[in-house]
Structure 1
Amino acid sequence: MTQTQSVYQSLRDAILGVELRPGEAISERWLEGRLAASRTPVRSALVRLEGEGLVQRQGRGYVVTPIDIGEIEQAYVFRETIETTVVRLAAARADALDLSGIEPLILPEVRDTSSDEWFDIGIAFHVELARLAGNAFFVRAIDDVMTRIARGRWLEIWSTGGRERAFIEHERIVELVKAGDGEAAAAAIQSHVRHGRDRLLDALKTQRRGFAVRGFAVLDGTEAD
């Protein structure tokens, strides 16, 4: 891994895991010291993260993009539309599916993973599900949208339950896809996405003040950037 890749991955992990808090100001010089890196890889990483919606320019520096409830609501509408299509396409090619990427994510022992591990598994499940459709555009779209809602999901995972239900729903979705039942799989993923949306938005809205006390900027969807 090059220094540029290492700096990018370290920054991305720190942002997605809210080690760098939503709304926190960061500068190139500060990051150079934190990561023991030169300016060029730091600048390259920031440009890439800006493209992913994880940082924003602010004056001469950057700020970690606040969590925006309105954007999350839009993201879930997008997810529902894309993922119902994904499972229909995957079910239509059930006999040719390579399940080696997704089956480890629904093994019984997944229930006992840490919150950090479950966070990663949740993202990986939906990316691997998109891969089953056999269309790289779906994979990139789901990877992007899951990245954009990731920090909200991280706060929700640490603040609420819902893991057991999500795990059961993951199992069921894969079973239906394997059985070639596209319509039932679409109904299952639609329900799953909506339940996840409701849990996440409820956590963000009801605990917004508490998040602010901890230094996490959570916008209500009507505030200016």
Structure 2
Amino acid sequence: MGRIICCGLGPGDPDLMSVRADREIRAARHVAYFRKKGRPGQARRIVEGMLAEDVSEYPMEYPVTTEIAFDSPDYVRLLADFYDAWAERLARLAETTDVVVLCEGDPYFYGSFMHLHARLQGRAEVEVIAGIPGMAGCWNAVGQPIALGDDVMTVLMGTLSEDELTRRAGNSDALVIMKTGRNLHKVRRALAAAGRLAEAWLIERGTMPGQRVMRLSDVEERDCPYFAIVLVHGRGRAMETAE
């Protein structure tokens, strides 16, 4: 019996990958990774130059990404069928050999592999290797502590409604807003309504080639890439009280 080993790759810079993940990837003979059709895939880019010459690669191409609304029945069905099929294929491979699955960031933190993880229970031995979450790479790129003292840090999705984004932004100290991409304008409006826009940073491609770090208030009205996170740093509430 083989194993399915999901390696967290960290925020994007290969130097920020764990030693353990690096070791498993370099020794792998079968490697699977997610990607959009027609693209090499971010996970595959991170491990460029690390794979063995005789490795067998299994690109898991999403059947749909932004072509259909993510909450539509068709989107849900297509993705469910996709994960079902790949869980079956990986389980069969793992009957005789180890299979490494690549996952950006940390697999247990909004990682796509979790959809396979749930389907593989009882069918294969699964091991998950932790990775540095992408948000950690982004707040290090800003060069400021994300939270201090008793600050409450809230992680939000840019896909939430504008009203919910505004409410939660106003009720927290430190903020991390993921899935910004096409939702950037909505996120910006919500932060402005909550009185937090002046404190917000936009980090595009954090730790990757082409990284950009900008005050969100200085960003012109434009689209931003998929790998983009908005941060609002905490204020160190307990520390201010103590002073």
Return the structure number with greater helix share. 1
Structure number with larger C-alpha Rg: 2
TM-score by length of 1: 0.28
Greater relative contact order (Cα 8 A, min sep 6): structure 1 or 2?
Answer: 1
Return the structure number with greater strand share. 2
TM-score by length of 2: 0.26
